């Protein structure tokens, strides 16, 4: 392998076949930043950083500035094969505070190059033994079903709540369409303690089997989440409350959650995600890997992490499904699973979603 000689970014815009609505936002297109690293042998590695103003605070412009600025300072001229695979994660984390999506995009691109060099798909470079992971599909925060779209391949749904005053009735109605299948709900921080408590009580007394309640309260309210666990015994998933391993430790200390939803754009990349998973497992917390509204490029990296840390869980990786035409016979979504490509590296998804005509902005190594 060889040193990295160019770092480039480009904007990826993909239309969704169904608008995606949560308590935090409504979106009908995926806009993200693709990152491309080129080494001295002309090999390219790709990653994706999503714009998520209301969760990570990252924007297209901030990701581009971060990648082409301080992160490129770390990457240009460096040969990834001279250090352990986790080195990039640490070097990038030391270069900037936050900016998890930008760091994750760069780390994924480095791991893509390393996996190509090793002749392995990324998922196997990470030590996973499975090539696919199960995922749920998300039902948006308003409306009952995925109108006109066939989501029947998925056996597990996650219902977004927090926007609709009739949430409880909606969840009861949806849960009755799949009797026996426990329901996942995600409020994206929209409730306060008493609202969450009343809603959970109403769902339980209506006989709804709740697999878990994800992030019912604001990210900062660890005590409130702990109180909900005590009151109702329903598993609580922490998503927006846990970005880093330090957040996880606070959540463990306060008894605030049962499961942690790990996302690359929050924690800053695959190695940080593995570290969080290790500590969460030691504290007997369950694991789920999710993603932002990203394309197949970012989701395939998240799926590789999911396969490495928790191959048997049902993850939250349907984000790219929303922008893949149902008629696409090469779709990675098959029978409710995200299936990874066996070719070396992780660029298969990039080759599917990055158009040839994309305009790249690049920084090359100074001679």
**Which whole-number Å values give the CA distances from 317 to 253, 263, 297, in the listed order?**
28, 10, 12
- Choice between 186 and 258, CB closer to Mg ion: 186
Give residue for tokens 């391993």: 245
Compute the 3-state secondary structure of the chain and give helix, strand, coil in percent, each to the nearest 5.
35, 25, 40
Count CA within 13 A, CB hemisphere, residue 317: 32
- Choice between 7 and 267, CB closer to Mg ion: 267
Site for Mg ion in 189-218 (CB under 5 A): 214
Comparing every residue's Cβ against Mg ion, the nearest one is: 239
SS3 track for 200-223: HHHHHHCCCCEEEEECCCCCCCHH
Give the shortest CB-338-to-Mg ion separation in angstroms. Answer: 17
Q: Is 294 in the site for Mg ion (CB under 5 A)?
A: no
Give the shortest CB-316-to-Mg ion separation in angstroms. Answer: 7
CA 248, distance to chain mean position in Å, is: 17
Q: Which one is catalytic: 103, 263, 271, 315?
A: 263
Give the shortest CB-292-to-Mg ion separation in angstroms. Answer: 10
Give the shortest CB-140-to-Mg ion separation in angstroms. Answer: 13
Q: Which of 48, 107, 167, 186 binds Mg ion (CB under 5 A)?
A: 186
158 in active site: no
Q: Which stretch binds Mg ion (CB under 5 A): 38-46, 47-55, 180-188, 300-308?
A: 180-188
- Choice between 63 and 213, CB closer to Mg ion: 213
- Choice between 36 and 315, CB closer to Mg ion: 315
CA angle 199, 255, 137 (to 5 degrees): 50
Instruction: Supply φ then ψ for residue 230, to 5 degrees.
Output: -65, -45
- Choice between 186 and 341, CB closer to Mg ion: 186
User: How many residues at the interface with Mg ion, by CB under 5 A?
Assistant: 3
Q: Whole-angstrom Cα distance, residue 225 to residue 238?
A: 9
SS3 track for 220-274: CCHHHHHHHHHHHCCCEEECCCCCCHHHHHHHHHCCCCCEEEECHHHHCCHHHHH
Site for Mg ion in 76-135 (CB under 5 A): none
Give the shortest CB-289-to-Mg ion separation in angstroms. Answer: 12
263 in active site: yes
Q: Which one is catalytic: 36, 160, 225, 348?
A: 160
Instruction: Supply φ then ψ for residue 80, to 5 degrees.
Output: -55, -25
Q: Is 239 in the site for Mg ion (CB under 5 A)?
A: yes
The residues binding Mg ion (CB under 5 A) are 186, 214, 239
Active site residues: 160, 263
């Amino acid at each position: 392998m060889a040193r990295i000689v160019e770092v480039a970014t480009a904007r990826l815009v993909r239309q969704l076949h169904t608008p995606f609505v949560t308590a935090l936002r409504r979106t009908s297109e995926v806009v993200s930043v693709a990152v491309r690293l080129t080494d001295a042998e002309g090999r390219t590695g790709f990653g994706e950083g999503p714009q998520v103003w209301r969760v990570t605070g990252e924007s297209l412009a901030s990701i581009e500035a971060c990648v082409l600025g301080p992160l490129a300072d770390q990457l240009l001229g460096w040969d990834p094969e001279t250090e352990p695979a986790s080195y990039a994660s640490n070097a990038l984390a030391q270069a900037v505070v936050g900016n998890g999506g930008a760091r994750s995009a760069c780390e994924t691109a480095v791991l893509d190059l390393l996996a190509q060099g090793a002749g392995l798909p990324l998922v196997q470079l990470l030590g996973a033994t499975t090539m696919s992971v199960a995922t749920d599909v998300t039902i948006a925060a308003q409306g009952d079903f995925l109108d006109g779209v066939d989501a029947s391949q998925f056996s597990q749904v996650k219902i977004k709540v927090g926007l609709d005053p009739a949430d409880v009735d909606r969840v009861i109605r949806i849960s009755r369409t799949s009797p026996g299948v426990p329901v996942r709900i995600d409020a994206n921080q929209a409730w306060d303690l008493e609202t969450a408590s009343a809603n959970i009580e109403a769902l339980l007394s209506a006989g709804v089997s709740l697999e878990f309640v994800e992030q019912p309260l604001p990210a900062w309210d660890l005590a409130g989440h702990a109180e909900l666990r005590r009151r109702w015994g329903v598993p609580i998933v922490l998503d927006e409350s846990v970005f880093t391993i330090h957040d996880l430790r606070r959540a463990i200390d306060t008894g605030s959650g049962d499961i942690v939803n790990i996302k690359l754009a929050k924690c800053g990349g695959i190695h940080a995600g593995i570290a969080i998973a290790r500590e969460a497992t030691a504290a007997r917390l369950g694991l789920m890997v999710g993603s932002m509204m990203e394309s197949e490029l970012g989701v395939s990296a998240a799926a590789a992490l999911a396969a490495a840390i928790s191959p048997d869980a049902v993850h939250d990786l349907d984000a790219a499904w929303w922008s893949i035409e149902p008629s696409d016979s090469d779709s990675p979504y098959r029978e409710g699973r995200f299936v990874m490509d066996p070719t070396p590296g992780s660029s298969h998804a990039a080759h599917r979603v990055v158009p040839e005509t994309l305009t790249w902005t690049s920084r090359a190594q100074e001679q």
